[in-house]
Amino acid sequence: MKMLITGGAGFIGGNFVHYTVKNHPEYEITVLDALTYAGGIETLEPVADKFTFFQGDICDHELVDKLVSENDIVVHFAAESHNDNSLRDPWPFIQTNLIGTATILEAVRKHDKRLHHISTDEVYGDLELNDPAKFTETTPYNASSPYSSTKAGSDLLVKAWVRSFNINATISNCSNNYGPYQHIEKFIPRQITNILSDIKPKLYGTGEQVRDWIHVDDHNSAVHAILEKGKAGELYLIGADGEKDNKYIIETLLELMGKDKNDYEHVNDRPGHDQRYAIDATKLRTQLGWTPKYTNLREGLQATIDWYTENQEWWKAEKAKVEAAYAEKGQ
């Protein structure tokens, strides 16, 4: 089976390449990635001889058409992925997440290939903090930010191409991922690398907002379960019951790194900040028999701390630039 992976030099796509090389040698892998600020070929260095790489844009019709025609299956991770960036400048989000996904859909339709579209739980908006409700596959779309609205739009494009053109596609909407190779603009690696750089961790607002954390390998094992057993046209929620508020995460990171757990600062809140995300993954668990492996968050965070500590050359050059952009917003 020939598999085209878009966004394979980013955080989740990169871990997906590693995971697939290790656990699914039956796939012959091609990666298409524009290597934006968020992508790095170094992420794929440990598996460098196991795939073919194309540097290019998913909005490039000709390139996408050619690569889709040459493969059996497309796993589509490529996206602009950071909420805070989408508040600074939404245009790259509109371009990549909407136009890019439409470009892939048209190639998939033309060449009659299988597509799996990677999406997020943020398409559902947010939940109340003290509400037992969780997102399910039937929760109405209600996205809040430019990022999440373009992801919601990309999902709707996939759904429309399934219904109108009967393409063979599935969608998954996952909760917040953590693990190695995540860009240091994101919450957990930003705080780990702050502590390693003698900068105080930064908590937005009160820090009471809740995210439903899942290890990136559990996300990727779920994607493989969907590729193997998922039904065409279906959408699956991916989550591992990892709800924690941001304050808990920052305190735990400080504690695991041997610091005073109160040694962080509150900074400006994110405008329109989603309060809580929570996934009910019953469909994935019962219909596809998937279970997560990384159920101990503290152990997963410790392994992630170890990775950033041991791989400082992977992130160090970016640190000052990332912090300067946050500082402009008082964050």
- Does residue 204 interact with ligand TDX by CB under 6 A? yes
- Which one of ligand TDX, ligand NAD, none interacts with residue 276, CB within 5 to 8 A by kind? none
Residue 178, Ramachandran bin (φ over 0: left; ψ between -120 and 50: alpha; else beta): beta
- Which one of ligand TDX, ligand NAD, none interacts with residue 39, CB within 5 to 8 A by kind? ligand NAD
- Which one of ligand NAD, ligand TDX, none interacts with residue 153, CB within 5 to 8 A by kind? none
- Does residue 29 interact with ligand NAD by CB under 6 A? no
What mask, x for binding ligand TDX by CB under 6 A, covers residues 148 to 187?
Answer: ----------------------------x---------xx
d(C-alpha 186, C-alpha 280), whole Å: 24
Residue 66 makes CB contacts below 8 A (sequence gap 6+) with none
d(C-alpha 11, C-alpha 39), whole Å: 8
Helix, strand or coil, per DSSP, at residue 128: coil
Nearer to ligand NAD, 92 or 200 (CB): 92
- Does residue 236 interact with ligand NAD by CB under 6 A? no
Selecting among 33, 84, 121, 217, the annotated active-site residue is: 121
CA neighbor of 298 nearest in space, from 185, 201, 213, 227: 213
Nearer to ligand NAD, 96 or 194 (CB): 96
Burial class of residue 200, CB neighbours in 10 A (0-12, 13-18, 19+): middle
Nearer to ligand NAD, 166 or 295 (CB): 295
For residue 217, give both structure tokens: 């390998």
d(C-alpha 151, C-alpha 153), whole Å: 5
Smallest separation, CB 256 to ligand NAD (Å): 20
Helix (H) or strand (E) holding 28: strand 28-33
Nearer to ligand TDX, 30 or 43 (CB): 43
Burial class of residue 54, CB neighbours in 10 A (0-12, 13-18, 19+): middle
- Does residue 177 interact with ligand NAD by CB under 6 A? yes
- Which one of ligand TDX, ligand NAD, none interacts with residue 254, CB within 5 to 8 A by kind? none
Q: Is 147 a catalytic residue?
A: yes
Q: What angle do CA 71, 74, 59 make, to 5 degrees?
A: 100
d(C-alpha 306, C-alpha 304), whole Å: 5
- Does residue 261 interact with ligand TDX by CB under 6 A? no
Q: Give the HSE-up count for residue 167: Cα atoms under 13 Å, Cβ half-sphere.
A: 27
Site size with ligand TDX, rule: CB under 6 A: 16
Applying the rule CB under 6 A, the residues between 217 and 246 that interact with ligand TDX are 246
Applying the rule CB under 6 A, the residues between 127 and 166 that interact with ligand NAD are 151
- Maximum CA extent, the chain: 58
Nearer to ligand NAD, 259 or 275 (CB): 275
Q: Is 122 a catalytic residue?
A: yes
Q: Which residues bind ligand NAD (CB under 6 A)?
A: 6-7, 9-13, 33-36, 38-39, 57-59, 77-81, 96, 100, 118, 120, 151, 174, 176-177, 183
Contacting residues toward ligand TDX, per CB under 6 A:
81-83, 120, 122, 176, 186-187, 190, 202-204, 209, 211, 246, 270
Kindly list the catalytic residues.
121-122, 147
